[in-house]
Amino acid sequence: AQSVTQLGSHVSVSEGALVLLRCNYSSSVPPYLFWYVQYPNQGLQLLLKYTSAATLVKGINGFEAEFKKSETSFHLTKPSAHMSDAAEYFCAVSGTSASGGSYIPTFGRGTSLIVHP
Amino acid sequence: GAGVSQSPRYKVAKRGQDVALRCDPISGHVSLFWYQQALGQGPEFLTYFQNEAQLDKSGLPSDRFFAERPEGSVSTLKIQRTQQEDSAVYLCASSLVRQGNQPQHFGDGTRLSIL
C-alpha cells in the first residue's frame, strides 16, 4: 500500500525566509511523487513531480523538491517565501500496479503555509 | 474550456434530498477521478473512470453514492438521500492517460452543505 505523511499541519515563515514543507512516503519502487498547491476555494494545482528522472526536481513559482530514497522523503523547499505563497500544500504518491502500487494517487493531509510580512 | 469545469460551485441541500454534481474534464483526457475533501484534509479517492468505464469505485462511502460518465466525457456524481456527513468539497480531476506518473488536473470543486 502507498501512503504519504506530511509533518506539520501548519508551517509559519516570514516573508523572504526559507520554506521547508516535509513529506515522507511509503510505496513500492518506483514511486511517483507530486506536490500540489491549493488556494482558498480552488482546486489543486501541480507544483512539481518526480517520475524517476533527476532526484532534484524544479517546479513552478521557485519551488523545488529532492527525492531521497534512503530517507523515503520528498521535501518541498523555496529559498525565499513570498506573501503569495500562502496556501495549502499537498504531497501525493502513486505507482504502478505491476510494482504493487496504484496509479490512483494517495494524498497527504496537507500543510498550511502561513507567510508573515 | 482549457481546464476542468465543475458545477455548481456551491450546493446547499436539506438532509434526505438527492443532489447531482457535474464535472466537465479537459477535452481528450481519458482518465477522470472524483475525490471528497473534508475541511482541513487532503482529497480522498471516491471513484475512477477510464473513458466511459468505471474501473474503480472502491472509495464510494455507501450505496447512496453513484457516478457515471456515459459518453466518456462529462461525468456526474449523484448522492441520494443526503446526510450531514456528506458535507464536503467534491473535487473532479482528469488526466491524459491512466498512468501513475501522470499529474492530475483539478477542477475548483463543488462545496456541498447538507442542512
Burial class (CB in 10 A: 0-12, 13-18, 19+), B51: middle
Residue B4 DSSP label = -
Query: What are the Cα distances from residue A27, in Å, to A1, A73, A75, A109, B7?
Result: 6, 11, 16, 17, 34
- CB–CB contact A102 B100 (8 Å): yes
Distance from the B98 Cα atom to the nearest Cα atom in chain A, whole angstroms: 7
Rounded CA-CA distance A60/A108 in Å is 20
Contacts of B90 (CB under 8 A, 6+ apart): B6, B21, B34, B35, B36, B37, B46, B77, B109, B110, B112
Strands B105-106, A87-94: pairing is unpaired
Residues in chain A: 117
Query: What are the Cα distances from residue B104, in Å, to A58, A63, A92, B90, B93?
Result: 18, 18, 11, 15, 6
- pLDDT for A96 equals 67
Q: In the predicted model, what is the mean pLDDT of chain A?
A: 91
- pLDDT tens per residue across span B91-107: 999 998 777 778 899 99
Residues from chain A that touch B41, judged by Cβ atoms under 8 A, are 109-110
Burial class (CB in 10 A: 0-12, 13-18, 19+), B68: middle
Phi, psi (deg, nearest 5) at residue B80: -100, 150
Residues from chain B that touch A2, judged by Cβ atoms under 8 A, are none
Strands B88-95, B105-106: pairing is antiparallel
- pLDDT for A98 equals 63
- pLDDT for B1 equals 53
Residues from chain A that touch B57, judged by Cβ atoms under 8 A, are none
Chain A CA closest to residue B10? A41
Phi, psi (deg, nearest 5) at residue B85: -70, -10
Rounded CA-CA distance B72/B114 in Å is 29
- The answer to whether residue A101 scores a pLDDT higher than 80 is no
Phi, psi (deg, nearest 5) at residue B45: -65, 135
Question: pLDDT tens digits, chain B, 115 residues: what are they?
Answer: 589 999 999 999 999 999 999 999 999 999 999 999 999 899 999 999 999 999 999 999 999 999 999 999 999 999 999 999 999 999 999 998 777 778 899 999 999 999 9
Q: Among residues of chain B, what percentage have pLDDT more than 70?
A: 98
Alpha helices in A1-117 (DSSP H): none
Strand order through the sheet with B5-7: B5-7, B19-24, B75-79, B65-68
